[in-house]
């Protein structure tokens, strides 16, 4: 597994990380049994995956709890990122005064005395510039050794630029994939500021795994797509099949497209079983041909950029 420098933390993160939204999450997914989840984390670690992304509201605290059990005694081999803003009990609370309490609860569930980074979890735009005191609290936690770095999880280039211009954050988690390339506009300035970039939703909520079609039906969190959006997405899938071959699945190619950007630190596909884990990891074994990268960039500019595909 290749690694990339994780901002200014002094650590390196595996190119392929472990998105832990699914762990113990009975609200949005068919939850895996606890021991199976722990075994999957152990398998990932043994395969060189050292970066783990979680949040208090993933499985209402269960994701952090399972990671804590799985990584107990192995903490020095890992890089852990968690978040603030959506408490384990549900809802949202972005009040700066709640950051310390949230982090302490996360540390307890994760069975560690520090995390490598903590992010404001998709906060309102007006929070990003720091005028409400969030970053002062985070700086205090950093000086106490409870976090090594901090930042935000956002969805757009405008949000990235807002926080970069007004703060000294060290990490941004952001949406980016073949079907959603808008955020690449802010990648260069993030790199110049030594900001680690974590890429979320890398498979476009499963579409870039190649397993969906115009005939697919969805439930749970994926029921948000209208028939029109499903049709558009299916048509786009047909147009990008050139990135696959007998040795390259759609998943592998989708992850390699993201890793073709040197500004990216790590990408965090979700993983529910050993098969998915090994497919994700295989993306780090080779690079996407530059001509494929360019064709996908052109497809975005000409045919995708102004479409409403949701997420």
Residues known to be catalytic = 58
Contact indicator for 196, 13 with CB cutoff of 8 Å: yes
- Check residue 300 and report its DSSP letter: I
Which is it for the CA torsion 220, 230, 254, 120, positive or negative?
A: negative
Q: Identify the helix (H) or strand (E) that includes residue 196.
A: strand 196-200
User: Which of these, 179, 190, 134, 188, lies nearest to 305 by C-alpha position?
Assistant: 179
Contact indicator for 275, 240 with CB cutoff of 8 Å: no
3-state SS assignment for residue 123:
coil
Please give the Cα distance from 3 to 20 (Å, whole number).
Answer: 19
DSSP string for residues in 181-248: -GGGGGHHHHHHTT-EEEEESTTTTTGGGT---TT----GGGGG--HHHHHHHHHHHHHTGGG-BTTB
């Amino acid at each position: 597994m290749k690694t990339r420098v994780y901002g200014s933390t002094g650590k390196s993160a595996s190119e392929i990380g472990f998105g832990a939204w699914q762990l113990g999450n009975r609200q949005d997914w068919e939850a895996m049994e606890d021991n199976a989840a722990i075994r999957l984390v152990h398998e990932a670690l043994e395969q060189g995956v050292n970066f783990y992304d979680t949040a208090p509201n993933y499985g209402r605290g269960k994701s952090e709890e399972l990671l804590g059990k799985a990584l107990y005694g192995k903490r020095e081999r890992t890089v852990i990122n968690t978040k603030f803003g959506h408490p384990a009990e549900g809802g949202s609370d972005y009040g700066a005064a709640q950051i310390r309490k949230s982090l302490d609860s996360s540390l307890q569930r994760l069975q560690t005395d520090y995390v490598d980074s903590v992010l404001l979890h998709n906060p309102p735009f007006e929070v990003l510039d720091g005028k409400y005191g969030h970053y002062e609290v985070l700086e205090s936690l950093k000086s106490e050794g409870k976090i090594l770095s901090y930042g935000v999880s956002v969805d757009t280039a405008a949000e990235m630029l807002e926080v970069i211009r007004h703060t000294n954050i060290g990490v941004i988690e952001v949406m980016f994939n073949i079907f959603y390339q808008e955020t690449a506009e802010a990648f260069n300035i993030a790199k110049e500021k030594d900001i680690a970039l974590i890429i979320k939703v890398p498979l476009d909520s499963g579409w870039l795994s190649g397993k969906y079609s115009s005939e697919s039906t969805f439930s749970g969190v994926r029921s948000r797509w209208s028939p029109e959006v499903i049709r558009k997405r299916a048509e786009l899938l047909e147009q990008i099949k050139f990135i696959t071959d007998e040795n390259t699945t759609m998943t592998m190619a989708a992850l390699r497209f993201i890793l073709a950007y040197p500004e990216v630190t790590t990408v965090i596909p979700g993983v529910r079983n050993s098969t998915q884990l090994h497919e994700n990891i295989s993306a780090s074994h080779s690079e996407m041909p530059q001509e494929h990268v360019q064709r996908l960039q052109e497809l975005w500019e000409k045919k995708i950029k102004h479409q409403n595909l949701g997420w």
